[in-house]
Each structure stands twice: as structure tokens, then as C-alpha cells.
Amino acid sequence: MTRLSFFPVDNGDMTLVTTSNEKTVLIDCNIRDVTGEDPPPDVVKQLKERLKKDDKGRYYVDVFMLSHPDQDHCRGFQANFYCGPAADYPEKSEKIFIKELWSSPLIFRRKLRHETLCPDAITFNTEARRRVKKYRNAGGAVSDGDRILVLGEDEDNKQRGIEAIVVKCDTRFSKIAGIAQSNFEGYLLAPVPKGSEDEEEMRSKNNSSIIVQFKIGEGVNADACRFLTGGDADVSIWDRLWEKHKNATDVLKYDILLAPHHCSWHTLSHDSISDLGDKAKVSEPAKSALSQIRDVGRIVASCKEILDDDDDPPSHRAKEEYEKIADKRFHETSDFCGEPFEFDIKSHGPVIRSKASASSFARKDAAAGLIGSGAIGHG
Ligand SMILES: [Zn+2]
């Protein structure tokens, strides 16, 4: 079943793409502790229910892609995914085996200009380096568990000898774990190659992330669903993407958009709401970049419940902007009773599979004035 699954991870991302030939691409993870009182949904259990086991009895993903090394995008990586040489996978381990990693050293470097890495990000980076080294040492002859794709060009000398596993910005790629796909393709929109010192400083401060437009095919339609995903990339990055692609917007078109940065206001605006209130303005280029919706496309926010308050992310005003873009077809991952929010990809396009919780309908009806606040009052 060709499917797109958004796991209920509060303010964080964890998205699984299952292609028409059952390849699995997991983008980010935010796996919280489920041992305490009132635990969050067990997303590892939910994930494993959607994965297959290989001939050694291991759960596996074909690809794990990390959009950027923030904690809410890699929490639980070390505890739940196997790292190290494929041949050394311990017997009886419950860890998920990763056939191929998709990583961007450039984004790690941008993050490190101002911040340190959390332990999960260090583990991911160490594993990515191990795989690149293995590739070099083996002259490219690597197999599942040691494979890596590097998304984005780095400085030349750093990637000499590994050109075959580097995906350049503004190019398409369609192999999963070394196998060419007919119903799956990515177009790499970011990271852009290393720029001037000013440009690097701007990008490091604006949550530089891997941004990809995926084409997920079904049956004879290789373009059944376009999925645009961009981690936590902020407004300046979307502004620049619009400047670059405004005359050829096809690479920004989507049927499903994962609202960047958990529906943050700072994806859409340079202004601070706390300083400017209602005068805070949307940045038109960034909004245009995120408005290239096709037909009855939808926008998904991976975040906690969006209330009409001052929180950010998720921001209520950002939600209002996305509702305008998608003509109200806006969904929050918190609305599905702790279950993943899922689309089945049919040959004519994506179809929602999940049912929203009764409470979310009640809340929306209340917001729409369909339920008066005094309806069940005591007065
Ligand atoms: Zn985030």
C-alpha cells in the first residue's frame, strides 16, 4: 500500500513514506520516553507495525533521512536504530536496521556554528561518517546497512572520491538503497552549496534543513502525490527559494505540505508577533514558495494541539495563513487520538485514511460557532 504516515510526536517530525513497491523512507524521528505516567503515544510500536522484517528477522527501513540535527527530529535515534557495521548487528536486538542513511554534512556544519549537538545527533553523525569512510575504503562496493547518500554539495575537496553518492542541489534522485525506482523521485531544493560568509551566517541562524519535493507514484501514475517537506527551515530560506524558483514553480508544487517548523510563525514572517501584534506581516516571497498547492492539496502540521494563544510553534496565526493557502484543508497530527495521521496514495492522488478524534471535531465546531460555549452550561 502506497502511503504517507505522520506520527503523533508533538512538536517534532516523524514521517514515513511507503512506496508502491513497499520501500520505506523514514524522515526524522522524535521518540519520547513512554515509561512514565501519562506517556505519549508509543510511536516505535506504531512504526514497527508499518515496517517489514528482513531475512534475518530484523525490522528495517530502506532509508532514514535526517532533515537537520535538532533534538525534536532525532530524539530516540540512538536507542531505537542500529548503528555500526552491518555484519555486527547483535543477535536478538530489537533495533531497527537502516539500509541507507540520507545525511547532509553541510547542515551539521551550519548547526555547529552556533549550537552544540545533542547525543542523538552525534550518534547519527558518527554513523554517517562511518558509512562514508566505508564507502571510500571499499571503493564504492557497499551493501545494505553501510549505504549512505549525501544530500547537498559540500566544499569540493571534502567530497572528492564520493561524487557518486552526492546528490547536488536542484537535481533529481530516484534510487533507494541502490535500487532505481519507477514510482519514487526526490528533487533536492536545499541545502544550497556553501555560500559567502554572510550567506552561511544567515543559513546557520535560520534552521537550515534538507528540503525535498518527493514525487510518490502509484500504479501507472508516477506523479500521484507530491510531498514537500523542509524540516524547520525558516522564512529567509523560503524567501530565497521563491526568488530562485518563481519563474519555474513546478519544483515547489505539492499535494501534501508538511508545514515547516511545526507551524511556526517564523516560517512565514520576519516580524515578531509579541512586538508588533496584528501589524506583524507575512513575507510574501516565503508565503508564495509555500503556496504552490495542486488541486485539493492539503497541509499537515506536526505539532501539539494548536490553540488560539501566544504559543509559537505552533502558531495560531501561521495556521490561519495555511488555512487560506489550502482552503481550510489543514490538519494537525494531534487530532488523531494518538494514532498516526495517514494518507493512502491512490493513482488519482492522496486520500485520507485516518479518522480525526471526536474531541477535535467538537473543538472545531465550537470554533466555528456551531456549539455555543453555554450549550452545556449551568446557568
Ligand atoms: Zn523541529
Sequential pLDDT tens for the chain (379 residues): 999 999 999 999 999 999 999 999 999 999 999 999 999 999 999 999 999 999 999 999 999 999 999 999 999 999 999 999 999 999 989 999 999 999 999 999 999 999 999 999 999 999 999 999 999 999 999 999 999 999 999 877 889 999 999 999 999 999 999 999 999 999 999 999 999 999 999 999 999 999 999 999 999 999 999 999 999 999 999 999 999 999 999 999 999 999 999 999 999 999 999 999 999 999 999 999 999 999 899 999 999 999 999 999 999 999 999 999 999 999 999 999 999 999 999 999 999 998 876 555 555 555 554 433 333 333 2
Single out the residue of 48, 49, 25, 46 nearest to residue 99, CA to CA.
Answer: 25
C-alpha of residue 47 to centroid of ligand 1, in Å: 19
Quote the pLDDT of residue 154: 86
C-alpha of residue 372 to centroid of ligand 1, in Å: 35
The rounded distance, in Å, linking the Cα atoms of 42 and 45 is: 6
C-alpha of residue 107 to centroid of ligand 1, in Å: 14
The rounded distance, in Å, linking the Cα atoms of 31 and 356 is: 22
Quote the pLDDT of residue 356: 75
C-alpha of residue 2 to centroid of ligand 1, in Å: 26
C-alpha of residue 206 to centroid of ligand 1, in Å: 12
C-alpha of residue 357 to centroid of ligand 1, in Å: 24
Q: Going from the N-terminus, what domains does the chain have, and what CATH number goes with each? A: 3-361 (3.60.15.10)
Of the chain, the end-to-end C-alpha distance in Å amounts to 52
Give CA angle at 28 (94, 248), nearest 5°.
145
Sign of CA dihedral 318, 321, 325, 331: positive
C-alpha of residue 218 to centroid of ligand 1, in Å: 30
Kindly list the protein residues that place their beta carbon closer than 5 angstroms to ligand 1, a single-atom ion: 72, 232
C-alpha of residue 262 to centroid of ligand 1, in Å: 6
Quote the pLDDT of residue 180: 97
C-alpha of residue 81 to centroid of ligand 1, in Å: 20
Quote the pLDDT of residue 18: 98
Backbone angles phi, psi at 343, to 5 degrees: -120, 135
C-alpha of residue 73 to centroid of ligand 1, in Å: 6
C-alpha of residue 30 to centroid of ligand 1, in Å: 9
DSSP state of 83: -
C-alpha of residue 217 to centroid of ligand 1, in Å: 28
C-alpha of residue 68 to centroid of ligand 1, in Å: 9
Quote the pLDDT of residue 367: 52
C-alpha of residue 28 to centroid of ligand 1, in Å: 10
Cell numbers describing residue 4:
504517507
C-alpha of residue 172 to centroid of ligand 1, in Å: 25
Burial classification of residue 305, based on how many CB atoms lie within 10 Å of its CB (0-12 exposed, 13-18 middle, 19 or more buried):
middle
Calculate the CA 87 to chain-centre distance: 29
C-alpha of residue 371 to centroid of ligand 1, in Å: 34
C-alpha of residue 118 to centroid of ligand 1, in Å: 13
C-alpha of residue 369 to centroid of ligand 1, in Å: 32
C-alpha of residue 188 to centroid of ligand 1, in Å: 19
C-alpha of residue 67 to centroid of ligand 1, in Å: 9
Neighbour-count burial for 99-122, b at 16+ CB within 10 Å, e otherwise: bbbbbbbbbbbbbeeeeebbebbb
Burial classification of residue 231, based on how many CB atoms lie within 10 Å of its CB (0-12 exposed, 13-18 middle, 19 or more buried):
buried
| Helical ranges in the chain per DSSP H | 43-48, 71-74, 77-80, 105-112, 119-137, 197-205, 235-245, 260-263, 273-276, 284-289, 316-325, 358-367
C-alpha of residue 92 to centroid of ligand 1, in Å: 33
C-alpha of residue 275 to centroid of ligand 1, in Å: 23
User: If you count them, how many residues does the chain have?
Assistant: 379
